[in-house]
Every structure is written in C-alpha cells, then in structure tokens.
A = this chain, B = another copy of it.
Amino acid sequence: MTRQAKEIRSDIAWSTRDRIEVRGRSLPDEILGHFNLGDVAFLQLTGKVPTPAQSNVFNAILITLVEHGITPSAIAARMTYVGAPEALQAAVAAGLCGLGSVFVGSMEGAARMLTEALPYGSQDADLDQLAKHVMTEFDGRIIPGLGHPVHKPVDPRTPRLFQIAEENGYSGRYVTLMKKIEREAEQSSGKELPINATGAIAALCCELGFPWKIVRGFGVMARAIGLVGHILEESEHPMAIEIWQRVEDEATRHIRPEAT
C-alpha cells in the first residue's frame, strides 16, 4: 500500500538570503519599529494588524497574565534554574509546563463554554436562556471562569478588563453572557462566584473571535515573560536553594535519624 503524500505548508513566515517576511510583511522594513510586541503577537496569530481598539483589548488580555507573584509555576522555574543555570530556556519551559487545567489553562474552559453556548456567527440568541442552559449543562460541576480563592467578592482585574473592552467597543454578547452565567451561578449556589480574571479574559477572547483551543496559549506566552523576570530575580536574590533545604529537612524528619 503506497501512502499518498500530503502537502506540508505554512503561511506564517519565510526568509531568503536578503529578506524575511512575517505574515506578508517585511520584518525589517514593515514590522520592526512600527508595532509593539502585543500587536505583533496579534499579527502572528491572526495574520492581521490589529486596529487600535483590538490592540488595546489584546494587550490588556496578555498583560493581565504576565505576572501573579510567587506561583507554583514560578517556583518550578526557579527550582529548574538552580540545577541548570546554563539552560535558562529549560527553566522557562519547566515553569510553563504547569499552566494546565488548574491555573491559567482554565481560560480555555471558559472560552469553550462561551463559544459552545453561542457559536461565532449565531444570530438572535436569548442570552438569559443560554445562561440557564449552561447551568443545566454543567449540572453542579465547577463553572470555569467563576470564583477565586483569594479575590473576593470581586476579582479586581475583572471590572477593569470589562471597562477596557467597553471603551474599545468590544463589550458585546460574550461579555454579557459571562455576566449572566455569573448571576445564575450565584443565585443557584447561594455563594459568591465572581467572574475571575480567566473568565473575563475568556469573554474578551471570544469578543475578538479567537478559537477557544488557542486561548490557553495567551496565558502561556504572557507567563513566559513573567517567568524570565523570576529567573532574573533568582539569579540576583535566590530563594530556590533555601526552599529546597527547608522542604527536604521537614519532609523527611519523621524517618531520618538524628545527625550526630
């Protein structure tokens, strides 16, 4: 049986001896010096230069995700740097590996929920009914994008993100639907379940038209920036060795004989 070869093709970038183009634009002449990093991220993903409004919303999404203090991800990156300071890229990689279903990656769930409830291009949806429908679908399971262990009763990032969306004309049906889901969830559970940053970001990603499968990637690219900051601080004011020694000492105290 002979396999039929398929095409291998990419439309992102190409280069020759004297030219480099990204998304149909000359990197040296038409991109460098003309855009900021967030706009180039938008170009890289969509093939289009963002409008000023899109630029404002997209930069805000990414910036929200850069840094959130000493997270498990930052600790993993610092622990890795201690063992392999010559491979900084591996320390960032290690830190990113944990951006899964529990942290950061939870944006994906919220974006999926919103676009499955209200697919791109759908018309005349009754958002109140959709919000109730989502509640039924989740059937008591945790609704992504709602609730926060620390930031209560309001996640301070959420109103600001919604404000930026509003000011830029991107506060549409997905933002409304997310708010209605919040209200339904709080009423049916009797608990404070504020829209958290990942929920707000998911709504804004849907407003911008991104497929839910890539939304987690915004957290990944933003956090890569944050992790380089943590590694720089670790190289100047280390904490990883101290954490390690405390943990090792405490963790094995119950089985380890006393040093003499």
Contacts and interface: CB of A to CB of B under 8 A. Distances in A.
Interface of A: 1, 3, 5-22, 24, 27-29, 31-33, 35-41, 44-45, 55-56, 59-60, 62-64, 66-73, 75-77, 79-105, 108, 150-152, 154, 156-157, 159-161, 163-164, 167, 211, 213-214, 216-222, 224-226, 228-233, 235, 237, 239-252, 254-257, 259
Copies in the complex: 4
B75 A259 contact: no
A21 B233 CA distance: 17
Q: What 7 pairs across the A-B complex have the smallest Cβ distances?
A: A84-B100, A83-B98, A37-B38, A224-B224, A217-B228, A36-B36, A80-B98
A115 to B, nearest CB: 14
Contacts of A163: 33
A4 to B, nearest CB: 10
A157 B28 contact: yes
A227 B113 CA distance: 25
B105 A32 contact: no
Contact of A17 (B37, B242, B259): B259
A99 B93 CA distance: 10
A228 B216 CA distance: 9
Given A69-B12, A233-B11, A102 B82 contact: yes
A2 to B, nearest CB: 10
A90 B87 contact: yes
A156 B20 contact: yes
A77 B72 CA distance: 10
Contacts of A259: 1, 16-17
A83 B79 contact: no
B251 A247 contact: no
A100 B85 contact: yes
